[in-house]
A = this chain, B = another copy of it.
C-alpha cells in the first residue's frame, strides 16, 4: 500500500509538500517540486487514502441517498438525477434502500451519519405516523447538529430543505382535464390511506371534482405498487374513469382490466401520476401527470449542498404537467 509518505520520500520532498501537490490545497507549490511529486506518485501508483483524508479534513466527499426501492423506476429516476448532480460536484453517492421500512430509514441515516457523509438525501413518501416521523427527525437532527446537511424529496414534513412536487395541484389539474373530456363518474385507486403522497394526490383530485360540482369518486385503498393497482381496480363499481395515484399502480390496473376483458379506453379510461419513462411504451399509452424526476433528484443535491447551515429550510416546489394520452377518451 503506497502512502503519501512513500511518495514524498521518493520525490525527496516533505510530506507537507506532497500533500499540497496531490490532494488540492490553497497553497502554491513551485513548479520543480510539483513535477517531482507528480512523477513520483505516478511511478509508485499512489492512491489517496480517502479514509485518512476524511479523518484529517473532518468531512468526506460522499453523499448519502436513502430511497425505498431502486427497482421502482420512480426512485431510479430520482437517484439517477441525484447521482449526476453529485458527480458534477465531485461527490460519490452511497445508497441505502429501505424497501418501505421506516425503521431502516432511520437506521440508514444513522449509518450515513457514522460515515460522516457530506449530505443525506431522503427520497420517498412519508407515512403519516407522527411517532416514527419524529424519530427520523430526531436522528436527522443529531446529524445536522454535527454539520450534516439534509434534503428531502417529497413532503415538507421533516423540517429540512425539501424538493416538493405539487401533488395536490397536479392531481387537481388532472381531474379538471378529465372532467373536461366529459367524465363524471370517477374512481380513485388511492394507495395506502396514511401515505402522505397518496393522500395529497387523492385529495387534490377529489377536491377538484367537488369544486366542479361532480359526484364524489369511489375511493379504493391498497398498496402503492403494481399489485395495489391490480387488486384495487377490481373493486371499482361503476366509473368511466379511474385515477391511480401513481403510474405503477395504473399499470397494475391496466393489467387487471385487460385480464377481465375490459377495454381501455373504450370501456373505461385510466390515468396515473409521475410519467415514468420506462412505462411510456404501454398500450394504451398512459395518461398521467409528468414530474421531472431526475431534476428533482438533482435539485435535492443542490439544496443540500448549498445554503448556510443556519438558514431556514428551503422548500423548492416542482410543478406537474398533465399529459393526456390514449388511455383516456372523450365521452359523448
Contacts and interface: CB of A to CB of B under 8 A. Distances in A.
Interface of A: 1, 45, 47-52, 54-55, 60, 62, 69-71, 73, 76-77, 79-80, 83-84, 87, 92-97, 110-111, 113-116, 142, 146-147, 226, 251-252, 254-255, 258, 277-279, 281-283
Contact of A49 (B1, B94, B114, B279): B114
A7 to B, nearest CB: 14
Contact of A51 (B55, B147, B281): B55
B77 A71 contact: yes
A90 to B, nearest CB: 10
A70 B71 contact: no
A42 to B, nearest CB: 12
A110 B47 contact: yes
A58 to B, nearest CB: 8
Where chain A touches its partner, the secondary structure class is helix
Contacts of A49: 55, 114, 116
8 contacts: A49-B55, A51-B52, A70-B80, A79-B95, A84-B97, A93-B94, A94-B95, A278-B278
Given A47-B114, A71-B73, A77-B71, A94 B255 contact: no
Given A71-B77, A83-B70, A97-B83, A50 B281 contact: no
Given A83-B96, A93-B96, A281-B282, 4 more contacts: A1-B147, A50-B51, A51-B60, A258-B283
A277 B278 CA distance: 11
A110 B41 CA distance: 14
Copies per assembly: 2
Contact of A281 (B60, B62, B147, B255): B255
Nearest to A116: B51
Contacts of A62: 94, 115
A270 to B, nearest CB: 12
A94 B255 CA distance: 36
A310 to B, nearest CB: 18
Contacts of A254: 281
A94 to B, nearest CB: 5
A55 to B, nearest CB: 4
A71 B115 contact: no
A92 B71 contact: no
Given A70-B79, A70-B83, A278-B278, A50 B94 contact: no
A146 B111 CA distance: 26
A279 B71 CA distance: 12
Contact of A45 (B142, B255, B281): B142
Contacts of A54: 51
A279 B251 CA distance: 10
Given A71-B80, A76-B70, A281-B255, A93 B95 contact: yes
A45 B144 CA distance: 13
B48 A114 contact: yes
A220 to B, nearest CB: 19
Nearest to A138: B45
Contacts of A258: 283
